[in-house]
Amino acid sequence: MFSKLKELFNPGESKGENENDESVERIEKELSDLELRLSQNPADNATQKQLMIKYNQAIQLFSNSTRHRNKVDDVFVKIDELRNTIRKNI
């Protein structure tokens, strides 16, 4: 009943942004889990690959959201760190 009023008074809050926020929360949790696994075993190739894929997905999500766009640079830094870790293990 009040959802139309909420949409009227909060035009910046759209369903797409809320879905994006949920996706961002989900991928941030996945990233933290993978980063924890990698910190426990830096030579794990499977975790490195999964983490690189998730970082790329995170860049796409973060860049599409005005709220989370400031996190894109942090993800690029983490990608560089991951690449350095991979180079050390080769």
pLDDT tens digits, 39-73? 999 999 999 999 999 999 999 999 998 899 999 99
DSSP 9-68: H-TT--HHHHHHHHHHHHHHHHHHHHHHHHHH-TT-HHHHHHHHHHHHHHHHHHHH-TTT
Of 59, 54, 52, 60, nearest in space to 81 by CA: 52
Distance CA 26, CA 62 (A): 12
Q: Residue 41, Cβ neighbours under 10 Å: how many?
A: 10
Query: What is the structure's pLDDT at 8?
Result: 57
Identify the residue with better confidence: 20 or 75. 75
Q: What pLDDT digit, counting tens, does each position of 9-45 carry?
A: 665 555 566 778 889 999 999 999 999 999 999 999 9
